[in-house]
Chain A
Amino acid sequence: MAQIKFDQLKKIYEGDVVAVQDFNLKVDDQEFIVLVGPSGCGKSTTLRMVAGLEDITEGDLYIDDIRVNDVAPKDRDIAMVFQSYALYPHMTVYDNMAFSLKLRKFPKDEIDERVQNAADILGLKPYLDRKPKALSGGQKQRVALGRAIVRDANVFLMDEPLSNLDAKLRVQMRAEIIKLHKRIKTTTVYVTHDQIEAMTMADRIVIMNDGFIQQVGVPKEIYDYPNNIFVGGFIGTPAMNFVYGKYTKEGYFESDNVKVKVPGVKAKLLNDKNYGDKPIVLGIRPEDIHDENIVLETYKESHVKLKVEVSELLGAETNVYAKIGDKEIVARVSARDDIKMGDELELAFDMNKVHFFDIDSEERIRN
């Protein structure tokens, strides 16, 4: 079991491409931490620095309070799982899992015990004599996990391990990895670009963009209180809506055909921070835009009239796409209402759930 501490970590590639900078983070023992962000945001580079596959340009990396910047990968006691669930095609499942232990000259009976134990955890016992080509994608991925488990390492690093699987299998494997973590409790750093994986699996999420950490927090906190426009827009499907407009000193938010009342506490905050009569960005999640009569009656001063451009029926709910000015917004409403393209709708913003962002810094305005 291990803690990992990143202190001002920085990575510059040749040709001065800055991949990661100002990376500060403490991963607790037994924690499952997910690094998430768009392609090229530096998450895989960070993982490779922990594994020792990349040099650290600046800053310090500690595993269990020991500085490991210059420690060889094999002395870091880390096991990795990659996206491609690579297996040796010429070896059986058993040998694939046993290989790294054989290299380390483990005694035969211990190898057998560890492989059998891992196979048991992963439900691979019936397949131990098969070659990889006789396995399904999900089974291969489990063997790849098994290769990491047998090592009994201090830290697991997983680099997009589910990206190669089809949608259904991915959901299944997601649950399996969580169960596995609950059982073996190894500190895990998991990299993905899939925000649903991040939300469902993580103890804490680290959101990255352009080499910087944007926010660190438990999934609910990240969803409910995004630090900035990037985080708000990245987490959640459909993404948070952003309406560019102006906050008036009288306590209203105005934009094109929208005029909504800002509730007292938020209005006070905006006044205190001198946003009166200044441009500002309003962020609202699709599920906080309502069409139910009861809500419309409650929030009389936060109505918006919209013309439906696209309506997607998802079964339990409908995503309604419309435009405010030239910006698209989406509302998630109950599927009981039959909404068609071209319909005029009156919707209400749940103003207690909205966030306001500074238009220049894109940071959330808060106390």
Chain B
Amino acid sequence: MQKLHVHMHKSAPHSMVEDLLIDLYPSVTFFVNNGVYTYFSIDINDTVDLPLEDLYNLLVTDFEMRFTLCYHPSAAKNLIGNAFSTTLNVLPSGTFSFEETLFKLYKAHPENLSTIKTNLNSVLTQTDNVTLTAFGNANMKALRAAKRLFIHRNTMQYRLDHIQEMTGIDVKTFKGLFIIHALQSL
């Protein structure tokens, strides 16, 4: 499942946007609406016909206002909790992946990420932390990191994938690894 966070201005016709999304995505389930922020859960297979960038373009042209769309895999919910409901307003109008969202929030107001940091620390195990450090020290080269930890390279891949399954952050990308380190060092 793909999760979609939609941030819109207070004056936006929230119910109309919700109705439109429900029509568009048969699998959509809708969770929160606090007047500026709405949180949807969408099956990723539904989005094939309409990439999120296109959805953004349609929303912007029809509703004529700024929208911030952030999408992420289900697992990211472990980190986010309710943090996005109050922080997404600092992001510009546009469509952002989870890593990009965290990166932009980190650059704008790192202090807003304290909840996410706490959640991250509770999700990551000692083994995950050792894996991340070794992977970073080996310049993101999984084989070299595996050798240093005396583990098989498949085990290394498995562990990196496992971190993504638990946090939603793809640590094999530069932005992903950077943001996970940045969160830990806050």
Contacts and interface: CB of A to CB of B under 8 A. Distances in A.
B140 interface: no
A74 B55 contact: no
A192 B108 CA distance: 30
Interface stretch (A84-92, A218-226, A339-347): A84-92
Contacts of B107: 14-15
Q: For chain A, give the interface size range.
A: 20 to 34
Contacts of B58: 86-88
A79 B61 contact: yes
Interface in B78-111: 92-93, 104, 107-108
Given A14-B108, A53-B93, A103-B13, A148 B61 contact: yes
Contacts of B60: 51, 53, 73, 80
Interface in B18-47: 20, 23-24
Contacts of A14: 104, 107-108
A78 B64 CA distance: 9
Interface residues of B, number: 27
A80 B65 CA distance: 12
Contacts of B55: 86
A90 B61 contact: no
Interface string A46-62: 00100111100000000
A82 B62 CA distance: 12
B61 A147 contact: yes
A84 B63 CA distance: 18
A103 B61 CA distance: 11
A89 B50 contact: yes
B63 A74 contact: yes
Given A54-B92, A80-B60, A90-B24, A74 B49 contact: no
A248 interface: no
B49 A86 contact: no
Contacts of B186: none
A88 B24 contact: yes
Contacts of B54: 84, 86
B128 interface: no
Given A74-B63, A99-B62, A148-B61, 19 more contacts: A13-B92, A14-B108, A15-B107, A52-B66, A72-B9, A73-B64, A79-B61, A80-B61, A81-B61, A82-B57, A84-B51, A84-B54, A86-B57, A86-B58, A87-B58, A88-B24, A88-B58, A89-B50, A100-B61
